[in-house]
């Protein structure tokens, strides 16, 4: 069973606009959430994370929002740049040894 | 700074053949992991090693074995490859503390015919 779901396989946005990537989870025991970014032929790289005790975490152009009651998190990228084009994975963890990943969303930012 | 290094990058096997995927990290991390990535499935944990000398099953361990050779190296072995094991395999490492991000290698594309 997929405990972490990214229901949008792809997203296309114009350069300079906001990109919003969504993620839903089913396991209420998850207490730490991460976003990874993956370019072709490379491994995923860590982007941003949030603990369950927070509802927002910001790092430059990237902001992650957590809605625990809805079991939903989202990644906002503002402004979007062509270099942001990649596959974004949402991940959730109870501890490091049980980190579950979503299927990924392919973001394309058009110049 | 190499980070996490995986070999080989590509491999084609026939059903029933065996092979070992190698992984090494130079960050002095305690924990190491093997994931597989399949279309529409995300990354799924095969095995992990929380520290040198220990290994444990993850979400999808069947058909695989692992060895934590030392603190740097963690190998994944397919004893008798099956077409269902066609996937992209990623090795990762972390310091092993709670709520730590993972550092991934660049992956091995494996095809089993």
Tell me the pLDDT tens digit for each residue of A5-14.
Answer: 999 999 999 9
User: Are A45 and B104 in contact (CB < 8 Å)?
Assistant: yes
Put simply, the answer to whether B99 touches A98 (Cβ < 8 Å) is: no
Mean pLDDT over residues A17-41, rounded? 95
Q: Work out the minimum CA distance from A17 to partner chain B, whole angstroms.
A: 27
Angle at A99 between CA A97 and CA A100, to 5 degrees: 145
In angstroms, the Cα distances linking A109 to A36, A37, A53, B39 are 17, 14, 32, 22
pLDDT at residue B11 in the model: 96
Taking only the tens place, the pLDDT of each residue in B30-50 is 999 999 999 888 899 999 999
Model confidence at A54: pLDDT above 90: yes
Is the Cβ pair B90, A44 closer than 8 Å?
yes
Identify which of B14, B93, B54 has the alpha carbon closest to the alpha carbon of residue A44: B93
Cα–Cα distance for residue pair A32/A14, rounded to 1 Å? 31
Residue A72, beta-bridge partner list: A24, A67
Q: CA–CA separation, A37 vs B97, rounded Å?
A: 22
Closest CA to B45 of A14, A108, A95, A66: A95
User: Which residues from A are below 8 Å from B102, CB to CB?
Assistant: 36, 44, 46, 96, 99
Nearest CB to B43; choose among A51, A96, A101? A101
Write out residues 51-90 of B within 8 Å (CB-CB) of A: 56, 58-59, 90
A96 pLDDT above the threshold of 70: no
- The confidence score (pLDDT) of residue B1 equals 65
What is the predicted pLDDT for the residue at A79? 98
Please confirm whether the linkage preceding B8 is cis (ω < 30° from 0): yes
Residue of chain B whose alpha carbon sits nearest to that of A106: B40
Residue ranges of chain B with per-residue pLDDT less than 70: 1
């Amino acid at each position: 069973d997929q405990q972490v779901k990214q229901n949008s396989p792809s997203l296309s946005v114009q350069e300079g606009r906001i990109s919003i990537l969504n993620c839903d989870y089913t396991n209420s025991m998850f207490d730490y959430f991460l976003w990874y970014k993956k370019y072709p032929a490379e491994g995923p790289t860590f982007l941003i994370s949030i603990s369950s005790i927070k509802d927002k975490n910001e790092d430059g152009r990237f902001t992650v929002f957590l809605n625990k009651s809805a079991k939903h998190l989202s990644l906002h990228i503002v402004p979007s740049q062509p270099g942001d084009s990649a596959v974004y994975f949402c991940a959730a963890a109870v501890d490091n040894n049980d980190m579950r990943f979503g299927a990924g969303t392919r973001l394309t930012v058009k110049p | 700074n190499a980070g996490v290094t995986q070999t080989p990058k590509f491999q084609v096997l026939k059903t029933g053949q065996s092979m070992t995927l190698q992984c090494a990290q130079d960050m002095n991390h305690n924990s190491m992991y093997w994931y597989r990535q399949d279309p529409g499935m995300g990354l799924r944990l095969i095995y992990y090693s929380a520290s040198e000398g220990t290994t444990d099953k993850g979400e999808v361990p069947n058909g695989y074995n692992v060895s934590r050779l030392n603190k740097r190296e963690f190998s994944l072995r397919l004893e008798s490859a099956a077409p269902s094991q066609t996937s992209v395999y990623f090795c990762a490492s972390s310091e092993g503390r709670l709520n730590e991000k993972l550092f991934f290698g660049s992956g091995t594309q494996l095809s089993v015919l």
